[in-house]
Amino acid sequence: MNDLYYDMIFKRKSFHTFKGKKNLSESELEEIKNQIETLKPLEEGIKTKFKIVPRTETTCRWGEYAVLIYSEKKEHYLQNVGYMGEQLDLWLASKNIGACWYGMAKPKEVPETDLEFVIMIIIEKVGEEEFRKESGGLKRKTESEIWSGEDPEKIASVARCAPSAVNSQPWFIESRENALYVYQVKGKWGFMMRNAMTHFNRVDMGIFLLILEVCLNQRGLSFQRELCPETAKKQDQILTAVYKLEKE
Ligand SMILES: Cc1cc2nc3c(=O)[nH]c(=O)nc-3n(C[C@H](O)[C@H](O)[C@H](O)COP(=O)(O)O)c2cc1C
């Protein structure tokens, strides 16, 4: 699965609109549900629920279905949702199912669950040709804007591809003494409100950690990950995780 995820980092893109020409079949919907069961959490012990509903049951205005993601509210739950949802985002690209993380919409009805609604991913069947071609069109920070220290395996060039809310890219990696220190930094917020971005940037960090780990695995680099306690302090740079790289 890691190789598939790795390849999909360069194929995936956000579908900000859909043509509405193709439909997902019952068997494809079943396959998506089965895939959801295989998603690995960032942190064990946080209850989550992924529910597929017709997109018309949400306030979003395009896409055939919405994958609603709910979670128990615990430390790291937003990063956990990002980490799990990004596995789904990458897998969907491999099946030519277009997707878009969608923070600006809500389900119309309050569900029968005590979990918190976190975010949805809008999906619709699309053609292979509608995905990103390897070379083009990626608007991202440069490698040196997101990385300091040595990078012999060219990890920054892959990690920088991670998607984020309003493309804010709220991440920075410091590489030193055989470890990677991953920080959440103040992203480019644009029109979004500060509170909303505090929420979404944590989801973004989970997405980033997933992409980073897929890249480390692909390079054959073993690691021990430690998630850092979430601090209530308002800082411009929050240490999110430390990866101790193990020499083989
Ligand atoms: C947590 C999160 C929330 C997002 N919310 C929205 C949204 O509400 N509307 C939208 O059109 N795109 C949304 N996006 C998609 C981003 O705008 C997109 O990922 C980013 O601009 C990078 O482009 P790319 O995914 O095509 O590489 C969201 C992405 C993430 C990760």
To which CATH superfamily is domain 143-246 assigned?
putative nitroreductase (tm1586), domain 2 (3.40.109.30)
- Domains 2-130 and 143-246 are alike in CATH topology: yes
Q: Single out the residue of 147, 125, 15 nearest to residue 65, CA to CA.
A: 125
pLDDT confidence bin for 135, thresholds 50/70/90: low
What are the pLDDT digits (tens) for 168-186? 999 999 999 999 999 999 8
* pLDDT score for 192: 61
* pLDDT score for 231: 76
* pLDDT score for 233: 66
Q: What are phi and psi of 181, to 5 degrees?
A: -100, 115
Q: Which residues line ligand 1 (CB under 6 A)?
A: 13-14, 16, 100-104, 119, 163-167, 200, 203-204, 207
163 C-alpha to center of ligand 1: Å?
Answer: 6
What are the pLDDT digits (tens) for 215-229? 999 999 999 999 999
Domain borders along the chain are: 2-130, 143-246
Q: Which atom of ligand 1 is nearest to the CA of 140?
A: 22
195 C-alpha to center of ligand 1: Å?
Answer: 17
* 3.40.109.10, 3.20.20.70, 3.30.1370.60, 3.40.50.2000: CATH of 2-130: 3.40.109.10
247 C-alpha to center of ligand 1: Å?
Answer: 36
Q: What is the Cα–Cα distance from 227 to 5, expressed in whole angstroms?
A: 22
164 C-alpha to center of ligand 1: Å?
Answer: 6
* pLDDT score for 196: 74
Higher pLDDT, 150 or 186: 150
Residue having the nearest C-alpha atom to atom 29 of ligand 1: 165
| Both tokens assigned to 57 | 């049951």
What share of the chain has pLDDT > 90, as a percent? Answer: 85
